[in-house]
Amino acid sequence: MRSRFAIIVAIAQTILFLGHWFIYETWVSFSPYPASHRGLKIAFVLLSVSFLSGWMVADRSTNLLARVVYISSVVWLGMLSFSLLAAVASWITLGLVKILSLAIAPQSIAFVFFGLALMASLYGMLNAAWTRITRVSVTLPNLPESWRGRVAALVSDTHLGHVRSHGFLRRIVNTLNLLGPDVVFITGDMFDGQKADLHGLALLWSDLVTPLGSYFIAGNHDGFTGHARHLEAIANSGVRVLNNEKVELDGMQLLGIHYRDAVDPRRFKAILQHAEVDRSRASILLTHAPHGMHIAEEQGISLQLAGHTHGGQFFPFTWIITRVWGQFAYGLKRLGNLLVYTSSGAGTWGPPMRVGSTPEIVLIQFE
């Protein structure tokens, strides 16, 4: 296990070294000053090890210094992504300039693209800090009369930890109380996977006031430092943890399956079969990721709620996510008799940036 982890770290660090080297070489090549760039080279070497160093520090401590180190490292990681795109664009544009014999200085090309990368990073951080309210309506067959007109709030991927912490979750809870949904569904990745004040953070959910309560299933990040500890902290806050089970919620069949069980098709199907879903009645399934939709549809589920994808969070991952998840990467979609809503999530993983996606709380009205 340790040897495999070491290999993964080595591969990740190699990729980071190569990325930083490419940006450094681009900047030097496009610079009008051929003098020594020793200071810049040292800076890039240090930046190349900042993310893994920050991650290791954050995995061991929650103090202010650890948070500052980690936040700085992930902000730079996001800026690195946009800088890589800027470097590629600079070389492509330089080639076109030479082919077309245009009188444009190389440094001007680099200045424009790296300036755009900086602007994208700043915009991404501001955009990620602004949580939107998304409203959708769904019509489910055989909906209980008691559910007509009711509103459920979907909150996913808060990723609480070193970047998003007590203040962020307090704003989420206060917003929910102002919106006044009848029930709140939390579809995983409440925590970021790093060392965190699990009980202190989870306890903030105890301020949530909803007529039908709140329900949670675990995501992939909720188990990095001990699955049981995360679930215990959440349960102690008053949020109901659905441990691969079905409950009755005022006439609605509500099911919740944790991420590590939902990604195994045989395990996922077995849990749904054991739950004995009544096909003649409406049902809601909580999963962290939009997995197993064909199985859920076969088992008679009416509505599946998920998160996990972040809508890609920022380019080019926004493009990659649509290739991986297809139409289920984000939003309300249909598969046969099954409705699926995949949320882009309220928080962020890694860089606290969003470009091409927005953080959201989803309000689902049943009609």
Residues 123 and 182 in one domain: no
Total tally of structural domains belonging to the chain: 2
Cα–Cα separations (whole angstroms), residue 348 to 96, 131, 203, 311, 328: 37, 11, 21, 11, 19
Closest by CA position to 137, among listed 333, 364, 334, 304: 364
Q: List pLDDT tens digits, range 201-238.
A: 999 999 999 999 999 999 998 865 556 788 999 999 99
Residues 273 and 321 in one domain: yes
Q: How many CB atoms lie within 10 A of CB 247?
A: 13
Provide the strand spans (E) within the chain: 132-138, 151-155, 183-186, 214-216, 240-241, 245-249, 252-256, 283-286, 303-306, 331-335, 338-342, 360-366
Closest by CA position to 252, among listed 151, 142, 149, 337: 142
Q: Tokens 């064909």 label which residue?
A: 294
* Domain span holding position 146: 132-366
pTM above 0.85, yes or no: yes
pLDDT tens across the length of the chain (367 residues):
677 878 888 999 999 999 999 999 999 999 877 556 778 888 999 999 998 998 888 888 888 888 999 999 999 999 999 999 999 999 999 999 999 999 899 999 999 999 999 999 999 999 999 999 999 999 999 999 999 999 999 999 999 999 999 999 999 999 999 999 999 999 999 998 777 888 999 999 999 999 999 999 999 988 655 567 889 999 999 999 999 999 999 999 999 999 999 999 999 999 999 999 999 999 999 999 999 999 999 999 999 999 999 999 998 899 999 999 999 999 999 999 999 999 999 999 999 999 999 999 999 999 9
Q: Burial, 102: exposed, middle or buried (Cβ in 10 Å; 0-12, 13-18, 19+)?
A: exposed
Residues 237 and 143 in one domain: yes
Residues 200 and 52 in one domain: no
Residues 73 and 205 in one domain: no
- Bridge partners of 132? 360
Q: Tokens 């340790």 label which residue?
A: 2
Q: Last residue of some domain: 128, 145, 178?
A: 128
Residues 285 and 182 in one domain: yes
Q: Tokens 């930083």 label which residue?
A: 20
Residues 228 and 160 in one domain: yes
Residues 164 and 72 in one domain: no
Residues 69 and 111 in one domain: yes
